[in-house]
Structure 1
Amino acid sequence: MGANARTPQPADLAPAEFQQLYERLRRHADHGPDDRRGALNHITAETMRAAAGEVRLGRSVSLAAPVETVPAADNPKPSTHDMISSPAEHRHKPGLNFAYDRLAMNIHGDADSHIDALCHVVYEGRMYNGVAAGSAEPDGTPALSIDVAHDGIVGRGVLLDIPRLRGVPWLEPGDHVTTADLTAAEAAQHVRVGPGDLLFVRVGHRRRRNSLGPWDAAAARTGLHPTALEFLAERKVAVLGSDGNNDTAPSLGVAFPVHVLAINALGLHLLDYLQFGELRAVCEQAGRWSFLCVIAPLRLPAATGSPVNPIAVL
């Protein structure tokens, strides 16, 4: 396919079709009425031990993009980094001195790498597993905050490279990744997504941004088609991440359908705006698209998400 190639686009979902899909996925996520971990339940001691066997090269790779502090079309209110006391200030001072700084950021922006907590999406007044929006746990902490993952997320990561499959550098905004794309990428990369896996889907958002410059990603971006969430549910995927937002814009019918279906229906933590350039190169060279992956959100007991720096170990 050429650089502007697009696969035939799936039809929009009518509101009734979306609701039926939502209910089907909710049934897939039946971990009991008191469950707060969602799809993380698919990660077990056995899957973690097996994931450790993926380490063969002894090489670690970050999946996060550098935090941005300069306004851009997709990031009009970037993070602020204040150097309160820089190392240079102490160059000629005797004895012990400290440099220190402060960072403030919008966790759920359209540029910085982050993880969405299960409380991030409220649909029809409810969060994952029917928990009422604004509910608290018995200890008083907000229900379904990112603290659900305070012990970290460890498992086998799998990278499915959709631009590689289609023979293009990136997918254009408005395009969709379908179930057919995911299964075809598995076959082309000789890998199969399984229970407890941390699935990363490359759409080429970062490469397009680096090549063409930032654009209003809130209005136009590439993501998964809502029906592809059935693939994730059937395979018992534990986490979904992308170098984009995971949702296509403009969306099909319901706004942010993948966020609603993944987070609210399936209890699936999402990682948005990651960076796969180095990982893709290492996987291509090694001829292997699976690896040990460690995701460590910050300890933010009341937060709807966290900045994140996932580490792939090959």
Structure 2
Amino acid sequence: MSGADFGSLYRELRNTAPGGVAPLGALVTLTPARTLAAAREVRSGRSVSLAAPVNTRAGPDNAEPAQHRLTAPAGAPDPDGLQFARDRIAMNIHGDVDSHIDALCHVIYGGTLHGGVPAADVLSPDGSAALSIDLARDGIVGRGVLLDVPRLHGIPWLEPGSHVSAEDLAAAEAQQGVRVGRGDILLVRVGHQRRRAQLGAWDSAGARAGLHPTALRFLAERQVAVLGGDGNNDTAPSAVPSVAFPVHVLAVHAMGLHLLDYLQFEELAPLCEREGRWSFLCVIAPLRLSSATGSPVNPLAIL
């Protein structure tokens, strides 16, 4: 895809985004009425985590692993006294392994954030107050829809470098008997986590499956509230040589979509298969960080 074609697509999606330049971005489509309707998706009461375990081991896709250590008690436990076990964790929120949510201030493009907010707002020493993850402090609760693209093609996963097209999303939707609608939390499975579990980690920064930039038209037409994937959502190598992360630019910067990266659907997908339905109540609760570009996250699907 040429830089000129990408620029045209960017302007098209920016001008038609349901959130416009509203501070909440596409979350404006997830109204209280839609949240109430999503609660009716709960039938069996089964809940499933959509997060990958926090990874503390270095690897080809994890140059900055999370650090987790026990800080107390020191030495052997006191058999006669009271003690508290304590620990500390530190992590790169936007790494290539751990599940996280991107705030609307995460993507700087053309010197601005979503809605034309000056990038200086995110680069200040105190962090980003504008468009930070604090916009989602009350949680994102709505109807989740899982589209399983490898299932559509009869394979366990898409190979790194493969693109998911708008046609793939529509075909998966039709095959699974579900329709993505306004205010939905759209989750797209490419099989990244299953491939990693079975074949081992690889340098996913250089090669991974994801959405083709033109697939974002599907999301714009359906007016979804949030996009999540079991990879980075962006394909590598990029379909646009001049833009390293075109899906992030289109989704976050142009459309105002919060992105969920590196989720895992390997428990959810077979459960949906068994129950014969691919929609559910989805609950996303970021940490309360007043000025942050994202947050670790453990989304829940409740069927």
2:266 aligned with 1:280, yes or no?
Answer: no
2:202 equivalent among 215, 218, 223? 215
Mind listing any 5+ residue stretches in structure 2 that lack a counterpart? Answer: none
1:248 equivalent among 207, 211, 235? 235
Q: CA deviation at 1:141?
A: 6.0
Partner letter of residue 83 of structure 1?
Answer: L
From the superposition, tell whether residues 36 and 209 of structure 1 become closer, same or farther in structure 2 (CA, over 3 Å).
Answer: same
Q: CA deviation at 1:31?
A: 4.0
Q: Which residue of 2 aligns with 1:16?
A: 4
Distance 2:270 2:158 in 1: 18
Superposed CA offset, 1:19-55 (max 9, x none): 110001111125455x211010010011101100000
Q: CA deviation at 1:18?
A: 0.5
Partner letter of residue 94 of structure 1?
Answer: D
From the superposition, tell whether residues 286 and 27 of structure 1 become closer, same or farther in structure 2 (CA, over 3 Å).
Answer: same
Distance 1:207 1:291 in 2: 22
> What TM-score do you get using the length of structure 1 for normalisation?
0.92
Partner letter of residue 302 of structure 2?
Answer: V
State how 1:228-243 maps to structure 2 within 5 Å.
Answer: 228-243=215-230
Superposed CA offset, 1:155-209 (max 9, x none): 0000000000000010001100000100000110000000010000000000000
Q: Which residue of 1 aligns with 2:71?
A: 84
1:27 equivalent among 8, 12, 15? 15
The DSSP-based 3-state class of the residue aligned with 1:160 is strand
Distance 2:216 2:68 in 1: 37
Distance 2:30 2:43 in 1: 21
Q: Which residue of 1 aligns with 2:298?
A: 309
Paired positions, count:
297
The DSSP-based 3-state class of the residue aligned with 2:48 is strand
2:156 aligned with 1:173, yes or no?
Answer: no
Distance 2:104 2:177 in 1: 32
2:86 equivalent among 100, 106, 109? 100
2:195 aligned with 1:203, yes or no?
Answer: no
Is contact 1:51–1:155 with CA below 8 Å preserved after alignment?
A: yes
Q: CA deviation at 1:95?
A: 3.5
Q: Extract structure 1 runs of 4+ deviating beyond 6 A.
A: none
Mind listing any 5+ residue stretches in structure 1 that lack a counterpart? Answer: 1-12
Superposed CA offset, 1:80-135 (max 9, x none): 00101159842x43242110000000000000000000000000001101111122
Partner letter of residue 38 of structure 1?
Answer: G
1:132 equivalent among 114, 118, 122? 118
Quote the RMSD (CA, aligned, Å).
1.5
Distance 2:62 2:192 in 1: 14
Distance 1:25 1:87 in 2: 55
Distance 1:278 1:143 in 2: 36
Is contact 1:134–1:142 with CA below 8 Å preserved after alignment?
A: no
2:101 equivalent among 115, 131, 151? 115
Partner letter of residue 258 of structure 1?
Answer: V
The DSSP-based 3-state class of the residue aligned with 2:267 is helix
2:302 aligned with 1:290, yes or no?
Answer: no
Q: Which residue of 2 aligns with 1:73?
A: 60
